[in-house]
Amino acid sequence: MTPFTESIIEQAAIDWLTELGYSYAFGPEIAFDGERPERGDYQETLLLGRLQAAIARINRDLPAQAQEEALRKFTRLGKPSLLLNNHAFHHMLVNGIEVDYKAKDGRMVSGRVYVVDFENEENNDWLVVNQYTVEASHQNGKVNRRPDVVIFINGLPLAVIELKNAADENATIWSAFNQLQTYKEQIPALFHTNELLIISDGLNARIGSLTANKEWFLPWKTIEGETQAPASVTQLEVLLKGVFEKRRFLDLIRYFIVFEQERGAPTVKKSRAIINSTPSITRLQKRFAHPRQKKKPCAS
């Protein structure tokens, strides 16, 4: 029997995501010193070429000056904490970025630039990358970490998947959870843009939000949203196909991610509404039937 290794789990995850229509890239190949570089250095967490192309594609009616201003705002969050940066990012991701620019008649006008097309999923750039090295500076020097799998939309790293080997009795699913906590502390820039975190040991799989503790990392139990997946399908396959189907992932981001606020500042990011009430996602998708319709955002 083939050993049940972390690399096998990683490849299976990539295969399931490519089945959903994601492109694939090997992290070292798109690194600044790789064969097909897409990053300026290891501290650069966004794939800026893809992001610039998406902004131009989605906002064709706005001039280049407005698109450039939006990109500048989007890439310079500048908040004092990971959660505040993540909150600012999520707001711009869902609601667009307000910009002022000069119209053709010389007047200064306001507009809104979007970095993701929530109406037409195929107008976005979907990518899964494994072995994505990120470097950060610390008081004692530089540290680099390499999350197992990162999921991008339009060059934005929106989900991180950390895997462990179920055959290793010392590496449980909670080892993956602990690894994510280390990443958040040591390479926080990667998580400024994070929407979902996934942990798995190949047998068990859990989904949580940026601030979720162990209690709120929970399994995803359905692929299509109507019936529970059979036990013969692994938890990781159910989770990846259930969450990251393109239309569903966009709806999760848009309608089911919320921040608790205290005295006007975010304190906790929650995605547990999506975890506890998976059928509600399907009901929401039916209510706001695609293709393009105007949608009324939901609170959670």
Q: Give residues with Cβ within 8 angstroms of 96, minimum separation 6.
A: 112, 113, 114, 115
CA angle 69, 71, 75 (to 5 degrees): 120
Q: For the chain, count helices (H), then strands (E).
A: 10, 12
Which residue from 145, 136, 235, 220 is spatially nearest to 181, judged by alpha carbons?
A: 145
Which residue from 59, 46, 23, 21 is spatially nearest to 247, judged by alpha carbons?
A: 21
Q: For residue 274, what pLDDT is reported? A: 47
Rg (CA), the chain: 19
Which residue from 75, 144, 143 is spatially nearest to 115, judged by alpha carbons?
A: 75
Strands of 38-148, DSSP E: 97-102, 108-113, 126-130, 134-138, 141-145
| Cis amide bond preceding 266, omega within 30 | no
Count of domains observed in the chain? 1
DSSP code of residue 209: -
Q: For residue 186, what pLDDT is reported? A: 96
Residue 299 within a domain:
no
Residue 298 within a domain:
no
26's enclosing H/E stretch is strand 23-26
* Domain span at 138: 6-287
Residue 292 within a domain:
no
Residue 45 within a domain:
yes
Please report how the helices 246-255 and 278-287 are oriented relative to each other, as an axis angle in degrees rounded to 10: 100
Residue 1 within a domain:
no
Is 272:216 a contact under the CB 8 Å cutoff?
yes
**Local confidence pLDDT in tens for the 300 residues of the chain:** 455 688 899 999 999 999 999 999 999 999 999 999 999 999 999 999 999 999 999 999 999 999 999 999 999 888 889 999 999 999 999 999 999 998 888 899 999 999 999 999 999 999 999 999 999 998 788 999 999 999 999 999 999 999 998 667 777 899 999 999 999 999 999 999 999 999 999 889 999 999 999 999 999 988 877 778 777 789 999 999 999 999 999 999 999 998 877 665 665 665 544 444 454 555 554 544 444 343 333 332
Is 285:251 a contact under the CB 8 Å cutoff?
yes
Residue 300 within a domain:
no
Q: For residue 290, what pLDDT is reported? A: 46
Question: How far is 38 from 57, CA to CA, in rounded Å?
Answer: 19
Q: Which structure tokens are listed for 291? A: 């293709």
Residue 218 within a domain:
yes
Which residue from 215, 217, 239, 218 is spatially nearest to 228, judged by alpha carbons?
A: 239
Q: For residue 272, what pLDDT is reported? A: 43
Q: What is the CATH number of the domain that holds 227?
A: 3.90.1570.50
Residue 180 within a domain:
yes
Q: For residue 296, what pLDDT is reported? A: 36
Is 162:124 a contact under the CB 8 Å cutoff?
no
Q: For residue 298, what pLDDT is reported? A: 34
Question: How far is 201 from 236, CA to CA, in rounded Å?
Answer: 9
